[in-house]
């Protein structure tokens, strides 16, 4: 992840911060300087904070002015400590974990959890995307893509038979949503129309890792 001045890179043991315009400006954050020795899976910058999702240790936030890092403690189990991806909207953090969607309101320090009990097909959420019109898209093993719109959970049917595993979500400049799957190619959704792309359409493989 990067902004105009700084690039952040997750590693198997913490994360790297590099100022793009400077030589030898890389800082490695791990247990030796206020972070943890864990694999970093996700970042999201919101205002003066960098939110950091890890493989086993949960969610952290770094103040980009003071560089201090704090752990966000929530009252959930070990499955919720794997933050696969995350987004932040209006100071509210949406963390896609293996135990569901953890919603942390940093403004009032409150927590809630969206899971199969609330209508999701699976608790292991692999992908999350904040669209240009403030909708939140969730990807997991299912026939559907899930959308949070005005705090209401909706389903968008992607396939009619069998499940696919959506592992990443992106958006085109025209607003169409692209979903990358673990082994079923890529799907594009626009105005309830779904187009599927396979190896026969020019992909090198039906197995995707990111988009």
Q: How confident is the model at residue 161, as a pLDDT?
A: 82
Q: How confident is the model at residue 98, as a pLDDT?
A: 98
What does the DSSP 8-state code read for residue 67? -
Q: How confident is the model at residue 202, as a pLDDT?
A: 85
Biggest CA-to-CA distance, the chain: 53
pLDDT band at 2, cuts 50/70/90?
low
Mean pLDDT for the stretch of residues 96-117: 97
Residue 209 has pLDDT above 90, yes or no: no
Q: How confident is the model at residue 3, as a pLDDT?
A: 65
Q: Tell me: the pLDDT tens digits for 161-208?
A: 889 999 999 999 999 999 999 999 999 998 878 998 888 888 889 898
DSSP three-state, residue 117: helix
Residue 134 has pLDDT above 70, yes or no: yes
Tell me the backbone φ, ψ of residue 103, rounded to 5 degrees. -110, 115
pTM for this structure?
Answer: 0.93
Cβ neighbour number for residue 12 with a 10 Å cutoff? 9
Mean pLDDT for the stretch of residues 147-160: 92
Q: Tell me: the pLDDT tens digits for 68-91?
A: 999 999 999 999 999 999 999 999
The answer to whether the CB of 92 falls within 8 A of the CB of 104 is: yes
Question: How many angstroms separate the Cα of 188 from the Cα of each of 7, 85, 176, 178?
Answer: 29, 20, 7, 5
Please, what is the average pLDDT of the chain?
93
Mean pLDDT for the stretch of residues 90-112: 96
- Distance between alpha carbon 92 and the CA centroid of its chain, in Å? 14
Q: How confident is the model at residue 60, as a pLDDT?
A: 98
Write the DSSP assignment of 167-181 as a string of letters: EEEEE-TTS-EEEEE
């Amino acid at each position: 992840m990067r902004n105009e001045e700084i690039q952040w890179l997750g590693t198997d043991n913490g994360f790297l911060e590099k100022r793009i315009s400077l030589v030898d400006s890389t800082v490695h954050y791990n247990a030796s300087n206020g972070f943890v020795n864990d694999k970093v899976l996700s970042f999201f910058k919101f205002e003066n904070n960098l939110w950091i999702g890890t493989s086993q240790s949960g969610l952290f936030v770094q103040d980009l002015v003071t560089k201090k890092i704090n752990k966000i403690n929530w009252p959930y189990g070990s499955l919720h400590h794997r933050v696969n991806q995350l987004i932040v909207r209006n100071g509210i953090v949406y963390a896609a974990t293996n135990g569901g969607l953890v919603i942390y309101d940093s403004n009032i320090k409150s927590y809630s959890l969206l899971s199969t009990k609330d209508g999701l097909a699976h608790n292991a959420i692999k992908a999350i995307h904040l669209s240009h019109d403030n909708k939140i898209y969730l990807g997991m093993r299912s026939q559907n893509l899930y959308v949070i719109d005005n705090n209401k959970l909706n389903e968008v049917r992607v396939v009619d038979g069998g499940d696919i595993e959506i592992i990443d979500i992106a958006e085109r400049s025209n607003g169409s949503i692209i979903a990358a799957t673990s082994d079923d190619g890529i799907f594009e959704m626009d105005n309830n129309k779904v187009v599927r792309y396979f190896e026969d359409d020019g992909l090198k493989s039906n197995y995707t890792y990111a988009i």
